[in-house]
Amino acid sequence: MISIEEAREIILGKIERLETEEVPILESLGRVLDEDIYAEADIPPFDNSAMDGYAVRSEDVAGAWPGEPVELTVLGDVAAGYVPESPIGKGEAIRIMTGAQMPEGADAVVMVENTEHTGGGVLVFTPARPGENVRFAGEDIKKGDVALKRGKKIIPGDIGMMASVGKAVVKVVRKPVVAIITTGDELVDIDKPLVPGKIRNSNAYSIAAQVIDVGCVPLMLGIVPDSQEALMTKVEEGAGADMIITTGGVSVGDYDFVKDILDQAGEMVFWQVAMKPGKPLAFGIVQGKPIIGLPGYPTSSMVSFEQFARPALLKMSGRTDIARMTVEAIFEESFKNRSGRRNMVRVIVSKDNGIFKARLSGSQKSGSLKPMTLANGLMVVPEDVEELHPGDKVTVQLFEPITD
């Protein structure tokens, strides 16, 4: 049986980044930029005041102090969004607001707090260095420079930058569409009555949520019964998407068809991984599309998605940061791992005075979903570690950042 790393590597080796599409900038958040964005003009576009105050010639106020203020003639004022009506000369100033364009002749701004308005002028109580309180044209980015580099994951500041260089539409890597097929005669959907012998199809929804969480689009193909023909039809339909995910039907039971379908209709790349939960996992290619057959048990399918489908979808999306953040934590309980497989244990991680602590989020049975509703990480118990005791150091993959 192959290891988690081997399985992940094989899958990633078959996954390619999707092509480019153009979207309005707000739709690009969290996605991968697929072009370099250049500044078409300086940012800021002109020298402007960083403060409300008076635009002055620094040499005029060089000797100013509260005991001997310098009096300047005020020629007028300029607000943000307007241009100064005149340049200033020796002994002159213009009242200026934050963001307003600097008048010609002025090289500094004295904050209004350090001045006093007089009849036709202003008393300046402090000197100003040349350039003081001025934001210079091109200070942020110069015309022609790269403002944002291709390949970066787009964050809110990037969207502001796109807007400031006048970009309304931007090239990003297309969002993968993921066909989700759940298999099993025992399944009924959430809006149907629960009759004896049946269980609700929760996998379709937990997997779709994981797909959305990773920035992709789920295509809900519903439940297929345990029949090879029915599954084949759905898988062919699913091949219209960028990836097909199935749940159930990958173990060694008589009604486990996913493996057979891959053998017949596509390329079966591997089956089974040395992981607990989630040993049954099928990976293959159908009509050129990757298909991941997740196990049926609710927790197994989610943990397997985390380890294999999530990195694959991130790679398709153009992302290079595809691993979950891991932390070292102190385990607070006892745990046995006699499986000989890597155990991905559902835990609750907390941070206490800068130290991460981990405890079980509940039963570790593959069928129980509740511990997945409480867990914020997966504790990685290596194949050769048979027992963990309180105080042992462990590695945990985090689903989200943890704060104190």
Provide the sign of the torsion angle of the four alpha carbons 192, 193, 198, 202, taken in this order. Answer: positive
Q: Tokens 């600097």 — which residue?
A: 102
Q: Hey, which residues does 267 pair with through a beta bridge?
A: 285
**Cβ closest to ligand AMP, residue 284 vs residue 298:** 298
Measured between alpha carbons, how far is 109 from 130 in angstroms, rounded to an integer?
Answer: 9
CB of 204 to ligand AMP, least distance (A): 6
- Nearest-approach distance from CB 301 to ligand AMP, in angstroms: 7
Cβ neighbours of residue 304 closer than 8 Å, sequence gap 6 or more: 273, 275, 277, 278, 281, 292, 294, 295
Name 112's Cβ contacts closer than 8 Å, sequence gap at least 6. 51, 52, 53, 54
Would you say 115 or 301 has its CB closer to ligand AMP?
301
Single out the residue of 202, 213, 276, 289 nearest to residue 245, CA to CA: 289
Q: How many residues bind ligand AMP (CB under 6 A)?
A: 19
CA angle 40, 41, 45 (to 5 degrees): 155
- Told to check if 277 binds ligand AMP by CB under 6 A, we report no
Q: State the minimum distance, in angstroms, from the CB of residue 230 to ligand AMP.
A: 14
Residue (238 or 298) nearer to ligand AMP, CB: 298
Quote the CA–CA distance of 97 and 202 in Å, as a whole number.
Answer: 59
**Choices 39-47, 150-158, 230-238, 243-251; region in contact with ligand AMP by CB under 6 A:** 243-251
297 binds ligand AMP (CB under 6 A): yes
Establish if 247 lies at the interface with ligand AMP (CB under 6 A): yes
Listed ranges 135-143, 149-157, 181-189, 308-316: which one lies at the site for ligand AMP (CB under 6 A): 181-189
Among 49, 101, 201, 364, binds ligand AMP (CB under 6 A): 201
Residue 182 is a binding residue for ligand AMP (CB under 6 A): yes
Residue type, 187: L
What is the nearest approach in angstroms of Mg ion to the Cβ of residue 250?
Answer: 9
The site for Mg ion (CB under 5 A) is made up of 184, 248-249, 296
Which residues of the chain form contacts with ligand AMP (CB under 6 A)? 182, 184, 187, 199, 201-204, 247-251, 253, 295-298, 367
